[in-house]
Chains A and B, each alone.
Chain A
Amino acid sequence: MLVMSQIAKSYITSTVETRAVSAIDLHVKQGEFVALSGPSGSGKTTLLNIAGLLEPTDTGTYHLDGRDVSSLSDRQRSRLRSELIGFIFQGFNLLPDLSVLDNIELPLRLRGLKSSDRCARSAKALATVGLSNRASHYPAQLSGGQQQRIAVARAIAGDPKLILADEPTGNLDSVMSAQIMELLREINRAGTTIVMVTHDVEHARSAARRVVIRDGRLQEDSAAPVAVPALSPAAAA
Chain B
Amino acid sequence: MFGFLLSSALRSIWRTSILSLLAVATIAVGIGVAIPMMTVYHHMNENPMPEKGQRLFRVNLDNWNAERPFREPNDPPPVLTLQDARNLANATEPAARAGMYAAQATINPDKPGSRPFKVSTRVTESGFFSMFEPRFIAGGGWDVRADSAKEAVTVIGAALSQRLFGTTDSVGSQLIVNGRRLTVVGVLEPWQLTPMFYDMQDPFAAVEDLFVPLGLMFELDLVPDFWRSPFELPAPLSHANFESLFTTTDIVFVQYWVELPDASVAASYRGWLDRYVGEQKALGRFPRELNNRLDDVGEWIEYTMKDSSDAGGVVALIVVMLLFYAVCLFNTVNLLLTKFLRSQGRTSVVRALGAAQGDMFVQYLIEVCILALLGGLAGIGLALFGLDAARNLFEHGSALAASGVATGGTAGFWEMDMSIAFTSVALALIGGCAAGIYPAWKACSVSPASGLKSI
Known contacts A54-B447, A112-B1; A78/B351 CB under 8 A: yes
CB-CB under 8 A from A111, the residues of chain B are: 354
**Which residues in chain B, 436-455, are within 8 Å of chain A measured between CB atoms?**
447-449, 452, 455
Knowing that A82-B353, A95-B349, A111-B354 are A-B contacts, what are 19 other residue pairs whose CB atoms are under 8 Å apart, sorted by A's residue number?
A: A46-B449, A54-B351, A54-B447, A54-B452, A74-B356, A74-B357, A78-B357, A81-B354, A87-B353, A93-B455, A95-B346, A97-B14, A106-B350, A107-B354, A110-B1, A110-B350, A110-B353, A112-B1, A154-B353
**A 25-65 binary contact with B (CB < 8 Å = 1; else 0):** 00000000000000000000010010010110000000000
Does A19 interact with chain B (Cβ within 8 Å)? no
Tally of chain A residues near chain B (CB < 8 A)? 25
Contact B449 A49 (CB under 8 A): yes
Is the contact region of chain A dominated by helix, strand, or loop, or is it mixed? Answer: helix
**A 198-228 binary contact with B (CB < 8 Å = 1; else 0):** 0000000000000000000000000000000
> How far in angstroms is the closest Cβ of chain B from A222?
27
Q: How large is the interface on B (under 10, 10 to 19, 20 to 34, 35 or more residues)?
A: 20 to 34
> How far in angstroms is the closest Cβ of chain A from B13?
12
Q: Of B1, B353, B448, which one neighbours A107 at CB under 8 angstroms? A: B353
CB-CB under 8 A from B355, the residues of chain A are: 78, 110
CB-CB under 8 A from B205, the residues of chain A are: none
In the complex, the 5 A-B pairs of residues with the closest C-beta atoms, listed nearest first: A82-B354, A110-B354, A78-B356, A49-B449, A107-B353
Bound Cα distance A46, B449 (Å):
8
**Which residues in chain A, 61-117, are within 8 Å of chain B measured between CB atoms?**
74-75, 78-79, 81-83, 87, 89, 91, 93, 95, 97, 106-107, 109-112
Contact B352 A97 (CB under 8 A): no
Does B4 interact with chain A (Cβ within 8 Å)? yes
CB closest residue in chain B, given A11: B450
Bound Cα distance A95, B350 (Å):
9
Does B11 interact with chain A (Cβ within 8 Å)? yes
CB-CB under 8 A from B357, the residues of chain A are: 74-75, 78
> How far in angstroms is the closest Cβ of chain A from B200?
60
CB-CB under 8 A from A109, the residues of chain B are: 4
CB closest residue in chain A, given B12: A97
Contact A75 B346 (CB under 8 A): no
Bound Cα distance A54, B356 (Å):
11
Contact B448 A54 (CB under 8 A): yes
CB closest residue in chain B, given A164: B352
Does B116 interact with chain A (Cβ within 8 Å)? no
Q: Of B14, B349, B354, B358, which one neighbours A93 at CB under 8 angstroms? A: B349
CB-CB under 8 A from A89, the residues of chain B are: 349, 452
> How far in angstroms is the closest Cβ of chain A from B450?
8
Contact A55 B447 (CB under 8 A): yes
CB-CB under 8 A from A55, the residues of chain B are: 447-449
CB-CB under 8 A from A154, the residues of chain B are: 353
Contact B452 A93 (CB under 8 A): yes
CB-CB under 8 A from A93, the residues of chain B are: 345, 349, 352, 452, 455
CB-CB under 8 A from B14, the residues of chain A are: 97
Bound Cα distance A112, B356 (Å):
13
Q: Of B15, B353, B356, which one neighbours A97 at CB under 8 angstroms? A: B15
Bound Cα distance A157, B288 (Å):
89
Bound Cα distance A199, B295 (Å):
88
Contact A97 B11 (CB under 8 A): yes
CB closest residue in chain B, given A83: B354
